[in-house]
Amino acid sequence: MGWRAATTRTNHDEIDRINTHGKNAGDALLLLHKVRLRHGARAEPFTLVTDLLAPKLGWSRKRVEKALAILIKLRLIVKVSKFKVTAAGRVAAQYRLASPNPTGAAAAGP
């Protein structure tokens, strides 16, 4: 991911919800903000390929997967479609941000 200068926000409720998930909570919060910085302005789904994302964060693939699982469980990130293997090749899983802002209101989308 090519990170660029931008800002993102959170609130106490969001931090408290994430913090209930133990030792991977900090990773989940950081990943959420990285994803918001990169995809927050998009309405369409995006891909998160853990094998590609891990080295950019300096994390293992498992560490990214654990952080992402927390965000999906809390519905801060929504999996729109699963990874597929088709006759034409592989199709990555698609995600979207459930809420582009920390108000708790879900974003419109598929």
| Residue 38 in domain | yes
| Residue 86 in domain | yes
Q: Taking the alpha carbons of 45, 95, 26, 104 in that order, is the dihedral positive or negative?
A: positive
| Residue 4 in domain | no
- Residue 57 CA, chain-centre distance (Å), reads 13
Band of pLDDT at residue 90, cut at 50, 70 and 90? confident
**Taking the complete model, does pTM exceed 0.85, yes or no?**
no
| Residue 80 in domain | yes
| Residue 2 in domain | no
| Residue 22 in domain | yes
Alpha carbon distance, N-terminus to C-terminus of the chain: 24
Whether the per-residue pLDDT at 108 is higher than 50: the answer is: no
Name the domain count of the chain: 1
